[in-house]
Each structure stands twice: as C-alpha cells, then as structure tokens.
Structure 1
Amino acid sequence: MSQTMTPARVTPPPAPTDRRQRRRRPPHVVRRSIWTGALTAFVLVIVVYPLVWLVLGSLKTQSEFLNNPTFALPESWTNFSNYVTAVTDGNLGTYARNSVLAVFPSLAITILLGVAAGFALEVMVWKGRGTTLLLFLAGIMVPGQMILLPLFTMYFEVGITGTLWPLIITYSAIGLPLTVFMMATFFRNVPREIFEAATLDGANIFRTFFSIGLPLVRNAIFTVALVQFFFIWNDLLIALTFTNRDDLRTIQVGLLNFRGQFGQVDYGPTFAAICLNVFGTLAIYLFLNQRVMKGMTAGSVKG
C-alpha cells in the first residue's frame, strides 16, 4: 500500500513591523521637541512681527492710522506714495548721504589703523607693547557719554562744528580700541613661522604687513568691519550732539525729527523711511555675514 507524502507547510516569515512603531521616541524626548519648537516659533514671531508691522504701516494712509484700528491691514497694497514722500519731502536722501559720508571714512580709518596697530602689538617685538595694549584696552572702558561735552568744546574751538568732521573723528576714536583688541587677538593665532620665513626671504616690515599679514586676517577684517559698521550707522547720541543743521543730520537723527507740515507726524512716510533704513541695513548684514562665514571656513593656515 502506497503512502502519499504531503509537503511540509512552510511558515512565512513575520511581516516586518512598522519602523515608526519599533522606534518610538521616549515621551520626554517628544516633550522636549515640542517645547523647542514652540520656543523657536515664539522667538521667530518676536523677530519677524515688527518687520511685518513696519511694512504694513508703510502702506497705510494718514486717515487709516487715525481712524482704523492699530492692527488693521492697509486698504491698498500698492500704496507706495509714502516711500516717494519719504525720499523727496522728508530729505531721506540727504540724511542717507550724510550717513555714508560719515560712516565709511571713519570705518576706513578705524580698520586701517586698527589692523596696523594689532600687527605692531602682536607680531613686532618692541619695548612697551604690553603697556600700549593695556592703554588701548582702557579706552574700551571709557563711556562715550563722558567725552561728548569736552569733544564738543574742542571742535568748537577748532572751528569744525559745522561739518561732518566731528562725526568722523569721534567715530574713529571710539571704534579704534575695540578694533585694535580684536585684531591683536586674531594676529596672535597666526603662526610666527610665517612671518619669520618672510623675514628670512628679505621682506621688510611693510611688505610683511601688506603681503602676508593682511591676507591672513582678511576674514577677521570683514568681521570687525561688520561690527563697527552697525555701531556707527545706528548711532544716535553722537550724531545728535555734533550735527547742528538739518543738512548735516544723519539718517538716525533725521528719522528722529521726521515731521510733516506744521510739526504733524506723517505716520505713513515715517514708517516708509524706517523700512528703507531697516531693510537696507538688513540686506548689507546678510551679504557681509555670508561673506564672513564663507571666509572663516574657506581654508586655514597650517603651522
């Protein structure tokens, strides 16, 4: 009698469970992520909301500011007449020109003297350089408000109070101590063997500074220039002290005294002028910040 052999039943392998079910995050990690996201959203709202509020306010008319609620949207999204009024009737172009004429010369003087002083204090060997560095550091601790009245008296005696020279000289003097300290710190991290090799090759001190020192710290120069630029551009106290005429006001002082006819505040042009100032400096910051970040990571000196 023959027997029929039945094949054994093969049990299929268990289906893989869902990866999300196998790798569930612990509850405390989930709560931490929620709190982190909520905090990030809160900070983002704090930063972005004033900018949005400025833009919306620059599109409103004077009647909308006076009659509508504060948080109401503008009735017309193409009302760019406030920007035209801010530039033409508000002398915003004159204020911006004065800021450029006061900021960039003082920034150039500060960077040039600060980089040279940092090189001399850290690379060159001479007697008394430690004391000189301490004197520059002492200049950082002097409040700018304490020297405004003596400086105004000196500028008046010299006869330059009716020009932009008081702003240029004051900005350069106030920004120089911090620039010297930061540049000396950057030069301290450069290997001394590079400068010694340049000296052995016959380079004098000027050739070493311009051909070797400056290229090695160009990223630091961008960083210091960015810090000093925003300090000088956003200054109000010094510019308000030394500008005694409307045609000498910088953009910050001009925005402070932005008035319409008969002293009335025109909110629309005022918001438009603030938008031009804020977003202009924001664009400069984003551009220079990317340059600085790329420069800081694009290559390094190997000793």
Structure 2
Amino acid sequence: MSTLTVPHSRADLRTPSPTGKRRRRPVRATVQKVLTTAITVVVLAVVVVPLIWLFLGSLKTQAEFLDNPAFALPENWLNFENYSRAITEGNLGQYARNSVLAVFPSLFLTLLFGVAAGFALEVMVWKGRSTVLLLFLAGIMVPGQMILLPLFTMYFRAGLTGSLWPLVITYTAIGLPLTTFMMATFFRSVPRELFEAATLDGASVIRMFFSIGIPLVSNALFTVALVQFFFIWNDLLIAMTFTNSDELRTIQVGLLNFRGQFGQIEYGPTLAAVCLNVLGTLLIYLFLNQRVMKGLTAGSVKG
C-alpha cells in the first residue's frame, strides 16, 4: 500500500531559487561591458594616435626630424611655417585645384548615369534588364590595374593626354558599376504604388525620375556620393598613370613627389600637407555622417 508524504512546513513547497544564475548574469554583463569598452578604446587609439602623431610632426623642423627621436614632441608648438611652405613651395593649392577639377565632374557624371541606370534597371519594366544588371556586376569584378595600359594607349591615340580628361573618364567608368548596383538596391525599397499613381496621373518617365525617384533616395544618394568621393579623391595609381606633368598632378601625386633642395624630402611640409588633406576629408565625413547612416539603412527595408 503506497504512502503519501506530506511536507512538514510551507518552505518545503517552494521551488528552489536559481541563485547561481542570478549571480552569473551580472558577472557576464560586466565582462561583456569591459570587453566592449576595451575594444572601443583600442580601435579609437588606432585611429586617433596616427592623427596626433601627424599633427605633431607637422610642427617640427627638418633638424628635429634628423636629430631627435621619431616620437619626440616638437620644440616649438606654434611653428606653423610648414603649412605655409606646403601651400607656397609645395604647390599644394595647384594640386588641390587639379583634384577638384578631376573629382567633381567625375562624381557628377557617375551619380547622374548611375542613378539613372539604377532607376531603369529596378523601376522600369523591360526585357533583358536582368542581363544588363549582371553586366554591371561583372564590371565591379574587373580590377582597375588591368585596364590602365589599354586606356593609356587609347587616350594617347585620341590626343587626350596632357589634360585632366583621362582622369574624368576613367573615374566615371570605374565608379559607374558600383553606383548602379547600389542605387538599384535602394530603388528596390521604394513602393511601386508611387510610380503607378504617377503613371496614372500622366507623368512621364523623366518626370517620375526627377520628381519622385531622386527625392525618395536622397539619403542613399549622399551615401554613394561620399563613397565615390573618397575613392576618387584618395586615388593615387590612376592619377600617377595619366598625369604626365607637374601642372596636372592631383593632390595625392603631389604629396608623393614633394621634394626640397637637392631632392631632399622635406618631412615637415609634407606632413603639414598631408594633415591639411586629411583634415578636409575628415570634416566632410563628420558633416555628412548622419546622412550617410540614414542612407546605409534606406535599402534594408521594403516599402
């Protein structure tokens, strides 16, 4: 005959509390927080320390670079002579002007053709658009180094050497596949009902493109523009290939060829010129940072 065991007190009816798990959770959260903080500090140091070293180096004289250790502090913290020498003797202003004349026309053409191609490939319905999109994707996989020699031969035979047109054409052609693919992805998140309603109202394709398509992907347009701007502005290989004189050098090629008397490298003015270049691009990114973040998430949701 089975017996029934009755608990002697109400404490026996309670479920044992998982004290071990309650203690582990705060410890695990603390460890994760410490690791996250440590990784953030390391990444921040990797980014900030070279910038600080670059600025301090731009304040040193040539004798300090040759006689003092590499990480020694500058003797005069108000020595901004290197910046004036970089602009005057180093022709930094002329190099920056050449970069502007090569970058902004290329950027404008890349965005214009890339946005139009993305709109045509994603919004418009026509036969063979999938094949054309695959051709643009194939253009992304072609290394730029493979086409430099054939392009140089073509530009020479066309009489375009000795100008900035080879840079503009090459930058536009190289940036167009990626821009088209990204803009097609962003147009995919735009509701089709908007374009259908515009069609019913009698809007043409060009009107839909400028009045509906571009305003809806404006944040994405800023993102793509910033990505292409940094690529073109910081380019060195293409600019070295197609600039055959000092009057056509961009700022990156100019920094590479900065020399003083008797071919001696002037470290102070060179670092000052690099510091001005980095400061300009950094300010542009910080100013457009929020627009870039919005553009990166614009194509991740549907409608």
Same fold (TM over 0.5): yes
Partner of 2:200: 200
Partner of 1:281: 281
- Pair 295,32 (structure 1): closer, same or farther in 2 beyond 3 Å: closer
How far apart are residue 268 of structure 1 and its match?
Answer: 0.5
How far apart are residue 237 of structure 1 and its match?
Answer: 0.4
Report matched runs for 1:160-171 at 5 Å.
160-171=160-171
Number of aligned residue pairs: give it: 281
Distance 2:32 2:91 in 1: 51
Write the deviation string for residues 234-280 of structure 1: whole angstroms up to 9, x where unpaired.
Answer: 10000000000001000110111111111001111011000000111
How far apart are residue 44 of structure 1 and its match?
Answer: 1.3
The structure having more radius of gyration, on CA atoms, is 1
Partner of 1:146: 146
Contact 2:221 2:295 (C-alpha < 8 Å) held by counterparts: no
Distance 2:79 2:105 in 1: 37
Distance 2:202 2:29 in 1: 62
Write the deviation string for residues 120-170 of structure 1: whole angstroms up to 9, x where unpaired.
Answer: 111111111111111111100100000000000000000011000000000
* 1:190 to 2:190 alignment: yes
Write the deviation string for residues 198-243 of structure 1: whole angstroms up to 9, x where unpaired.
Answer: 0000101111111111111111100100110001011000000000
Partner of 1:136: 136
| RMSD value, Cα | 2.1
Deviating more after overlay: 170-179 vs 253-262: 253-262
Partner of 1:173: 173
- Letter of the 2:112 partner, please give it: L
Partner of 2:55: 55
Partner of 1:248: 248
Contact 2:106 2:172 (C-alpha < 8 Å) held by counterparts: yes
Partner of 2:118: 118
> Which structure 2 residue ranges, 5 or more long, are not aligned?
1-21
Partner of 2:157: 157
Contact 2:55 2:272 (C-alpha < 8 Å) held by counterparts: yes
Report matched runs for 1:233-272 at 5 Å.
233-272=233-272
Distance 2:138 2:218 in 1: 26
Deviating more after overlay: 287-296 vs 83-92: 287-296
- Letter of the 2:207 partner, please give it: R
Distance 2:297 2:117 in 1: 25
- Pair 253,138 (structure 1): closer, same or farther in 2 beyond 3 Å: same
Distance 1:83 1:138 in 2: 44
Partner of 1:80: 80
Query: Normalization by structure 2: what TM-score?
Result: 0.88
Query: Which secondary structure state, in structure 1, belongs to the residue aligned with residue 288 of structure 2?
Result: helix
Distance 2:280 2:236 in 1: 17
Write the deviation string for residues 68-100 of structure 1: whole angstroms up to 9, x where unpaired.
Answer: 111111111110000000000000001100000
Query: Which secondary structure state, in structure 2, belongs to the residue aligned with residue 125 of structure 1?
Result: coil
Distance 1:65 1:120 in 2: 56
- Letter of the 1:127 partner, please give it: K
> Which structure 1 residue ranges, 5 or more long, are not aligned?
1-21
- Letter of the 2:265 partner, please give it: V
Report matched runs for 1:7-18 at 5 Å.
none
Which of structure 1's runs of 4+ aligned residues deviate more than 6 A? 22-25, 295-298
Distance 1:178 1:290 in 2: 22
Partner of 1:215: 215
- Pair 158,77 (structure 1): closer, same or farther in 2 beyond 3 Å: same
- Letter of the 1:92 partner, please give it: L
Identity %: 78
